């Protein structure tokens, strides 16, 4: 029986064997606590016929735990130096496939069609590199992939922004974008002490479960997100001021913008961070119809 990868001793031995040095630019922090890895996988609720997609497998610590529970694991790794290590550490698991690609450039939809066509349940489970957390999550959601959801580890403050509710200082366009596609909840906090090298901040694991349909039905999705971003462009300003300053010819169209806010039953003096996703939906439809 192989010793598990995610112990301080085994991790150290693997890194020494391959003379591996961490690249700060790739946000590499490896987990050295099997118990935490198991809890992350628990939150994904994988079944025997589930598929798991991982991003940034590192030396295979989380991959190994996924392999024990999923029928198929596909992991995207950008760092070529890790490929021989993964080949070695994951050799006991023939149903794991590592793809040497940047997830942000990868055609994930085609990969899933080719590698997981026979699976009805697919989850993304990953310890995401901190510097590209948001672009990765948004890419996976916007591409309408056939996934049930994601269980991902990221910086605690980003997790708080993603799961924030209206009226809180963390709430912003990111919270709304994620809420539009998924139901989000922070399921655990992970201390910085269980990583090598130790990051400067604590992490959190967030679970995002895809909605059957978006949280609000709008006439034009791109326009809706545009209005959301405009409403948060300067947090201390009222929604009316932000829209006037952000929309094309906003100053000339102030009376129409004001009218649309009233039609959507929104006080123009409110700030963007107090609006629910439903209110943004109504507002965006009104503006789209009248501007």
**Band of the pLDDT at 2, cuts 50, 70, 90?**
low
pTM: 0.92
The 10s digit of each residue's pLDDT in 220-238 is: 999 999 999 999 999 889 9
Burial class (CB in 10 A: 0-12, 13-18, 19+), 180: buried
Task: Report the pLDDT value the prediction gives residue 248, as an integer from 0 to 100.
Answer: 92
Question: What pairing do the DSSP bridges indicate for beta strands 121-127 and 96-100?
Answer: unpaired
Which residues contribute to the annotated binding site?
29, 31, 56, 77, 102, 127
Taking the CA atoms of residue 169, residue 36, residue 125 and residue 44 in that order, the dihedral angle to the nearest 10 degrees is -90
* Cβ count near 2 (within 10 Å): 10
State the average pLDDT over residues 42-62: 96
> Residues forming the annotated binding site for S-adenosyl-L-methionine?
29, 31, 56, 77, 102, 127
Using a pLDDT cut of 70, give the percent of the chain over it. 99
- Mean pLDDT for the chain overall: 94
- The predicted model gives 34-57 an average pLDDT of 96
pLDDT band at 29 (very low <50, low <70, confident <90, very high): confident
Which domains are seen in the chain, by residue range? 8-210 (3.40.50.150), 221-290 (1.10.8.100)
HSE of 204, CA atoms in CB hemisphere, 13 A: 16
Q: Is the pLDDT of residue 22 over 50?
A: yes
Mean pLDDT of 103-123: 96
Sorting pLDDT into bands at 50, 70 and 90, what band is 131?
confident
72-77 sheet: strands from edge to edge: 96-100, 72-77, 50-55, 121-127, 149-155, 203-210, 182-190
């Amino acid at each position: 029986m192989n010793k598990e990868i995610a112990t301080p001793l085994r991790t150290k031995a693997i890194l020494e064997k391959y003379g591996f040095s961490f690249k700060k630019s790739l946000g590499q922090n490896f987990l050295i606590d099997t118990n935490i890895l198991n809890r992350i996988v628990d939150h994904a609720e994988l079944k025997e016929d589930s598929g798991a997609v991982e991003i940034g497998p590192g030396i295979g610590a989380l991959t190994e735990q996924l392999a024990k529970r999923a029928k198929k694991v596909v992991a995207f790794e950008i760092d070529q130096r890790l490929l021989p290590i993964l080949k070695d550490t994951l050799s006991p698991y023939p149903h794991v496939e590592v793809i040497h690609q940047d997830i942000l450039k990868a055609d994930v939809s085609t990969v899933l069609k080719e590698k997981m066509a026979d699976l009805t349940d697919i989850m993304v489970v990953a310890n995401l590199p901190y510097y590209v957390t948001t672009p990765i999550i948004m890419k996976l959601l916007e591409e309408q992939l056939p996934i049930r959801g994601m269980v991902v580890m990221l910086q605690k403050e980003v997790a708080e922004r993603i799961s924030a509710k209206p009226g809180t200082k963390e709430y912003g366009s990111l919270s709304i974008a994620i809420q539009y596609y998924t139901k989000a909840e922070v399921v655990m906090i992970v201390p910085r002490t269980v990583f090598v090298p130790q990051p400067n901040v604590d992490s959190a694991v967030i679970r995002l479960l895809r909605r059957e349909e978006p949280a609000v039905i709008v006439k034009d999705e791109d326009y809706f997100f545009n209005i959301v971003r405009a409403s948060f462009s300067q947090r201390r300003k009222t929604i009316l001021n932000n829209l006037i300053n952000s929309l094309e010819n906003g100053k000339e169209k102030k009376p129409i913008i004001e009218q649309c806010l009233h039609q959507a039953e929104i006080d123009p003096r409110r700030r963007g961070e107090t609006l629910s996703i439903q209110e943004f939906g109504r507002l965006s439809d009104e503006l789209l119809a009248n501007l």
